[in-house]
Chain A
């Protein structure tokens, strides 16, 4: 069966520090991968999605970036964190297709910027 792993679960970082969040999927190949951010009490904001290795689509201009170095690995990065980057970051995968597959979410990373 397919599983998704996301780490770390919680992270406290100072303003201006770098960031690297990692997400891996097992049990499937060529999945679509997604990074979302959820501010406290808010909805899900799509940040990036990828349909294949090295392919990244950015939804919101910001100081974050994403990379997909391997088929089932998705990384969210920043060179310098801002206070506004605080939130709950969720990685998700979905079987490749025309949008009729459900998304499966990881447990998320709670990021606090001090």
Chain B
């Protein structure tokens, strides 16, 4: 079945440093979604990428979808303490379910 791998699992950064998490799928994806889960909370949808090579920005967050639609990345510029949480990618092959990556837990040291 479809597998979505995400690295790193954990990342500690100093406040102000950049952060990137990477997502790779074993199969070509129809789309990829990114979610953020704050400590103690539930995952919240951030964005969806659909087109090959697509790049989207949300303030300090930049999301990319690979040309082959098998990988994606989330980059945060100049992290802040409010960025703390676990970031999940979720890939869909076009069916009723999505496959979540294991998540990257981000800690920001003030």
Q: Contact residues of A with B, CB < 8 Å?
A: 32, 34, 36, 41-44, 46, 49, 51, 57, 59, 90, 98-100, 102-108
Contact = CB atoms under 8 A, between A and B. Distances in A.
Contact of B45 (A36, A104, A107): A104
Given A34-B97, A102-B48, A103-B43, 7 more contacts: A44-B43, A99-B98, A100-B50, A103-B35, A103-B90, A104-B45, A105-B43
Interface of B: 6, 30-31, 33, 35, 41-45, 48, 50, 88, 90, 92-103, 105
Contact of B30 (A42, A49, A99): A99
A99 B93 contact: yes
Nearest to B6: A43
Contacts of B43: 44, 90, 103, 105
A59 B99 CA distance: 11
A41 B105 contact: yes
Q: Tell me the interface secondary structure of chain A in the complex.
A: loop
A43 B97 contact: no
A11 B99 CA distance: 27
Contacts, number: 61
Contacts of B99: 46
Contacts of B105: 41
A36 B50 CA distance: 24
B81 to A, nearest CB: 20
Given A99-B92, A99-B93, A43 B103 contact: yes
A27 to B, nearest CB: 16
Contacts of B92: 99-100
B100 A99 contact: no
